[in-house]
Amino acid sequence: MSMRDLSRALAEVVREVSRSVITIYTVRPSLESFFGLTPLVGAGSGFIVGEGLAVTNYHVVRGAGVVEVVYGDGVRGGGRVLAHDPGRDLALLAVDRRDVKPIRLGDSDKLEPGELVLVVGSPLGLQGPSISLGVVSAIGRTLVDQESGVILEDLIQTDAAINPGNSGGPIVNASGEAVGVTTAIIARAQGIGFAIPINTVRRFIAMIEKYGRPLRAWIGVYVAPLTAEIASMLGVAVKEGVVVVRVMPRTPAHIHGLREGDVIVKAAGRKVKSVRELREAIEDSVDQGCVELEVLRGRSKIEDCVPVVVEEIA
């Protein structure tokens, strides 16, 4: 494909995707409003995922008293937060238009470093959408939000230009499928942005459909994918799994003796090699009350059913 053909193909992707992308303005209650001052106003992005449904970041609508939506054709409307999950930085909105075509959702598990992606959103609160082009720089990143203390796992890293206001908008592949939700930028760095994988969004919506609300299911560990270097350092004879990098005190994992450096190779009877796969195995074990784990510690193998804690998300 020539550069001209590629350019035209990407332009067509932009035209299609832009119809599904929305700009979100929020008004947060403020005591200053009693003195006639303007309440705090925030701005972000989002996209339509179903009839009358949109996805954005939780931090975009956090504490909002009023949510206003501007569609790709310039029409303004209202929105309402149906569900949110701070631990995933995701929120599901009900919007007042049902005639907007939902964006097509891709498979973020198939993303590879170097793949072309487009960031679509409303940078700096300007009515968009605005487009930037880049590549997938890395996958499986972990990001710690120093302000909230939230740890976001399994993120997509991209070098596509991301600015305040892009948060909540989609990252799409060359086929026009949403593969992620823009979530954060590193202010001190150049050309580094992050997105929540779209398969995490699918999971978020599926939990709402199953339980009527998102739930937080956990055992008390933070993990990272096992690499050949780490496996050699730990003395384990496996190439796939997740290594425990932190065990939270007084959690089921701590009580059942999991340690930093343990390698989890199976959960709920299936192999795990990513943060997402372990999280999904834990969530799928909610009804059983515990998740069966197969753990390697050096040359020893430990099998245990670790209780799953389920928390309501406030």
Q: Which residues are catalytic?
A: 59, 89, 167
Question: CA-CA distance, 127 to 26, in Å (whole number)?
Answer: 14
Q: How far is CA 188 from CA 131, 169, 193, in A?
A: 22, 22, 11
Which has the closest alpha carbon to 273: 150, 109, 135? 109
List the structure tokens of 303.
């099998």
C-alpha 136: how far from chain center: 15
Q: How far apart are CA 227 and CA 233, in angstroms?
A: 10
Closest by Cα among 17, 286, 33, 46 to 181:
46
User: What's the Cα-to-Cα distance from 281 to each of 45, 136, 174, 266, 303, rounded to whole Å?
Assistant: 31, 26, 31, 9, 15
Query: Do 285 and 278 meet the contact criterion of CB atoms below 8 Å apart?
Result: no
> Are the C-beta atoms of residues 117 and 179 closer than 8 Å to each other?
yes
Neighbours of 41 (CB within 10 A): 14
Residues with Cβ within 8 Å of 169's Cβ and at least 6 positions away in sequence, in order, are: 21, 44, 45, 46, 47, 119, 120, 121, 122, 129, 181, 182
